[in-house]
Amino acid sequence: MRYSIVEQNFNIDQTTGLRTDRIIELTVPKSKRLYPEKLRLVEFYDSENDELMLFLTNNFDVSSLEATYLYKNRWQIEVFFKWIKQNLTVKKLWGHSPDAVKIHLWRAICTHLIVAYIKHLTKSSLSIYEIMQILRVSAFDKTPISQLLSENIPVQVNQNVKDQLSLFC
């Protein structure tokens, strides 16, 4: 990205992790035509992860440190939604109102946590997905969960054919 520095704030505390706070303008003709307004470029050094992060924003109302925290928190939200997509089986939402979406997601998260806790209690080597599949198909079965999740599941075969009902009468 090519830009020119319009203004630079030299009054920053580098002990907070901030490195620079600049107001810039894009210089490439197409970029300048598509976004002619000024932007703010904030550099922040994250000492925990040993990385320099650049944040580009059009928000001039907050301090540069607040801008970095906003973007870092937004990234955590993105990571959380990525986890939801990968781990929870939410195929179709029940409703589209904010409350319906919240209820559906909370139900899915609680279900996932309960199954993870069952996995922990039973010390099962099965994945959470496999445990969910077993619980789904045996929802009305009276077999104890610990027995359902054990490696050696006994198979019951009904040898008494006389007791079975005939399909073709």
Claim: this prediction has a pTM higher than 0.75:
no
Residue 86's pLDDT is 84
In angstroms, rounded to a whole number, what is the distance separating the alpha carbons of residues 10 and 7? Answer: 10
Q: What is the mean pLDDT of the chain?
A: 86
What would the pLDDT profile of 45-97 be if each residue is shown by its tens digit?
988 889 999 999 999 999 999 999 898 888 888 998 888 888 887 778 888 89
